[in-house]
Amino acid sequence: MKKWLILILVFNCSIALGLTTNETKIVQHAQKALVEAQRDYKDQRIKTEEAEKRAEEADREAQKANDNAAKTSQNIEIVAKQVDDAYEREKALVTRVNQLQELEKEVNSYWGLGAILYGIKVLLKHLFILGIIVAVLGATLYFLVPAAIPFIKMILSFFGMIFRKIGDLFRKK
């Protein structure tokens, strides 16, 4: 709207000033050049705004890419830790499998009699541990609680009787 008013004003001024035809043509040409320059300026401004919008969009995309890269890096670290943990578990499992394979060989030896021997070995080991615990408790009671001495002697005589009976089973008569 402003352009048209300016053009009308310039045209009227040229007529009012009494310009010649050549001068009027020059003024009209200048007006056309001015309109064209304004149009070019507007086009360039629109293109600049579009370029700025594209640049902002590119900055946002770059920020998203950086965020995704950071998240991916964190996920890689988590997966690497999980892989290391799985490797450690695998090593422990291999060790346990090797132990169990040795035990299986021992149990299956001598046509299966190895199982009986293994059972006796485990039983004796546990009885030995139980004997140590009972001996430590008995000695502790013997020295700390003198009233427990008759009970301790009674228990020892009971076990002594059991062991004698077991020994008598294996002696020749």
List, as one string, the DSSP characters of 60-114: HHHHHHHHHHHHHHHHHHHHHHHHHHHHHHHHHHHHHHHHHHHHHHHHHTGGGHH
Note whether residue 102 is domain-resident: no
Note whether residue 154 is domain-resident: yes
More confident residue, 19 or 141: 141
Asked which of 24, 58, 77 is the last residue of a domain, the reply is 77
Statement to judge: residues 117 and 55 lie in one domain: no
What pLDDT does 89 receive? Answer: 96
Statement to judge: residues 71 and 119 lie in one domain: no
For residues 120-136, average pLDDT: 93
Residue 124 has pLDDT above 90, yes or no: yes
For residues 30-37, average pLDDT: 84
Domain extent, residue 46, equals 1-77
What pLDDT does 4 receive? Answer: 61
Note whether residue 173 is domain-resident: yes
Asked which of 77, 100, 122 is the last residue of a domain, the reply is 77
Asked which of 21, 53, 77 is the last residue of a domain, the reply is 77
What pLDDT does 130 receive? Answer: 93
What pLDDT does 83 receive? Answer: 95
Statement to judge: residues 53 and 120 lie in one domain: no
For residues 152-158, average pLDDT: 88
Note whether residue 17 is domain-resident: yes
Note whether residue 40 is domain-resident: yes
Q: At residue 122, what is the residue type?
A: V
Quote the number of domains for the chain: 2
For residues 140-152, average pLDDT: 87
**DSSP letter (8 states) at residue 171:** S
What pLDDT does 169 receive? Answer: 86
- 142 within 8 A of 149, measured Cβ to Cβ: yes
Note whether residue 98 is domain-resident: no
